[in-house]
């Protein structure tokens, strides 16, 4: 392999683009780097899954790796990548020091997906029945690990402008270490409006989301207990179809035909489901990042009703693809209005198309992203000198994590023998 063109991605899991926005995001990143001329190797310590994508079909080499094993050092030394991308901070914690020690010249990039510390701090505040405060973030244990990971890397990819702002203001992280790259869509993703089902041809409400993700499970409970009864009371014929990968028995138990609350599990084709629905409901009460399900709704010409957490950092100064409302009674009223009023519905649909055109098309980002990567590859020494705190953390982490990992490796050897 040509050293100049090798990208190693170390994945937390194997990509499942049909299960979550994170899986789709990873495939977008692979495509962006391939267009820049990188040959991509995807390695992960995760078990294979039934729904993982066949990476070889996308020209990506797949490699299984082990945690706490020097076999990884041999693997990466031979590969000698120009660039290493860590999929979430937990993976950087595990493998970052090995990359820094074995391939010190490789550019290290972190794909955050969303700020985990923000999601956890909001969830904790929600469970304690109080408003989230910025000070919650500073007290969040995960923040110490996640921010250290961001500082150790040469660049962190962010999908939310709000999270970029938090990192630069609350955590005082240099802008040069951050890069805004939201979920991206091809130009053809804006389906010809004439090909989409009309207002009259659509029916029902829909919720869609991966149930591994706590904010999604919470939103479905909230729909079942609070919001859906308010909608059903005024629209007795209405049906809410709930779809999501990795549903458990507790999710299936919410299914109730009489209430029009139908739990279907995994959608074979999420877009087909959303295109047939008239309105997407997403009453998310905590979380972070930007929401793939709401971008998908825009793509399918389906207006959505969500909360301020759901819509965070998604629309810029543009009007929303439907309604943003945190009060449950108003949420239900606006959902009913959107469901019944064709003029309001059509305006919402157009708003969604406009948001995609101005904020999520791949062509808006790929040129600048390629320039940024090439600049860092060429100027890595100076870039790192400007990030002294990152160097300091790398130095100390390498020492502590290295010896902890070596101890675990020795322990594992003894238990095997």
The per-residue pLDDT for 412 is: 83
Residue among 317, 227, 327 nearest 281 (CA): 227
Query: Is the same domain home to 336 and 215?
Result: yes
Query: Is the same domain home to 391 and 252?
Result: no
Rounded Cα gap, residues 6 and 347, in angstroms: 46
Query: Is the same domain home to 199 and 226?
Result: yes
The per-residue pLDDT for 191 is: 63
The per-residue pLDDT for 353 is: 95
Query: Is the same domain home to 297 and 409?
Result: no
Residues 6 or more apart in contact with residue 292 via CB below 8 angstroms: 20, 21, 22, 24, 25, 183
Contact between 110 and 84 (Cβ < 8 Å):
no
Query: Is the same domain home to 54 and 104?
Result: yes
Query: Is the same domain home to 263 and 315?
Result: yes
- Report pLDDT digits (tens) over 3-43: 458 999 999 999 999 888 899 999 999 999 999 999 999 99
The per-residue pLDDT for 2 is: 42
Residue among 122, 129, 137, 159 nearest 292 (CA): 159
Dihedral sign for Cα 139, 144, 146, 147, please. positive
Query: Is the same domain home to 237 and 369?
Result: no
Question: In angstroms, how far apart are the furthest CA atoms of the chain?
Answer: 72
Query: Is the same domain home to 141 and 246?
Result: no
Rounded Cα gap, residues 1 and 177, in angstroms: 28
Last residue within a domain, chosen from 315, 338, 361: 361
The per-residue pLDDT for 155 is: 98
- How many domains is the chain built from? 2
Last residue within a domain, chosen from 337, 361, 385: 361
Query: Is the same domain home to 152 and 250?
Result: no
Domain that holds residue 230: 188-361
The per-residue pLDDT for 417 is: 62
Query: Is the same domain home to 155 and 235?
Result: no
The per-residue pLDDT for 405 is: 75
Last residue within a domain, chosen from 361, 391, 407: 361
Contact between 26 and 181 (Cβ < 8 Å):
no
Query: Is the same domain home to 318 and 342?
Result: yes
CATH of the domain at 391: 3.40.50.2000
Query: Is the same domain home to 221 and 356?
Result: yes
The per-residue pLDDT for 18 is: 87
Which residues, given as ranges, of the chain have pLDDT below 70? Answer: 1-4, 191-192, 398-399, 416-417
């Amino acid at each position: 392999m040509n050293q100049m063109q090798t990208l190693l991605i170390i994945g937390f899991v194997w990509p499942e683009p049909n299960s979550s926005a994170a899986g789709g995001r990873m495939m977008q990143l692979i495509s962006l780097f391939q267009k820049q001329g990188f040959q991509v190797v995807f390695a992960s310590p995760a078990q294979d899954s039934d729904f993982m994508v066949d990476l070889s079909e996308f020209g990506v080499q797949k490699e299984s790796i082990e945690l706490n094993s020097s076999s990884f050092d041999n693997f990466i030394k031979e590969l000698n990548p120009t660039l290493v991308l860590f999929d979430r901070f937990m993976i950087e914690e595990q493998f970052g020091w090995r990359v820094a020690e074995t391939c010190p010249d490789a550019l290290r990039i972190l794909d955050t997906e969303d700020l985990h510390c923000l999601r956890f701090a909001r969830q904790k505040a929600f469970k304690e029945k109080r408003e989230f405060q910025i000070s919650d973030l500073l007290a969040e244990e995960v923040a110490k690990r996640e921010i250290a990971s961001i500082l150790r890397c040469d660049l962190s990819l962010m999908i939310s402008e709000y999270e970029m702002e938090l990192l630069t203001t609350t955590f005082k992280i240099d802008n040069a270490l951050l890069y805004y790259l939201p979920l991206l869509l091809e130009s053809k993703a804006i389906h010809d409006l004439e090909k989409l089902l009309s207002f009259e041809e659509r029916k029902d409400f829909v919720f869609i989301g991966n149930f591994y993700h706590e904010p999604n499970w919470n939103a479905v409970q909230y729909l079942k207990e609070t919001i859906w009864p308010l909608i059903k009371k005024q629209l007795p014929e209405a049906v809410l179809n709930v779809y999501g990968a990795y549903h458990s028995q507790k999710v299936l138990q919410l299914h109730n035909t009489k209430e029009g609350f139908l739990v279907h599990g995994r959608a074979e084709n999420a877009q087909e489901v959303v295109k047939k629905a008239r309105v997407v409901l997403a009453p998310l009460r905590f979380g972070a990042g930007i929401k793939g399900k709401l971008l998908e709704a825009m793509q399918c010409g389906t207006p959505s009703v969500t909360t301020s957490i759901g819509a965070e950092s998604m629309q810029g100064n543009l009007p929303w693809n439907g309604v943003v409302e945190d009060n449950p009674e108003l949420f239900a009223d606006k959902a009913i209005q959107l469901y019944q009023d064709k003029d309001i519905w059509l305006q919402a649909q157009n708003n969604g198309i406009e948001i995609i055109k101005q904020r999520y098309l791949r062509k808006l980002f790929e040129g600048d992203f390629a320039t940024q990567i090439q600049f860092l590859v060429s100027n890595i020494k100076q870039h790192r000198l400007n990030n002294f705190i990152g160097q300091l953390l790398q130095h100390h982490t390498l020492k502590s994590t290295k010896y902890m990992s070596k101890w675990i490796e020795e322990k594992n050897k003894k238990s095997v023998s």
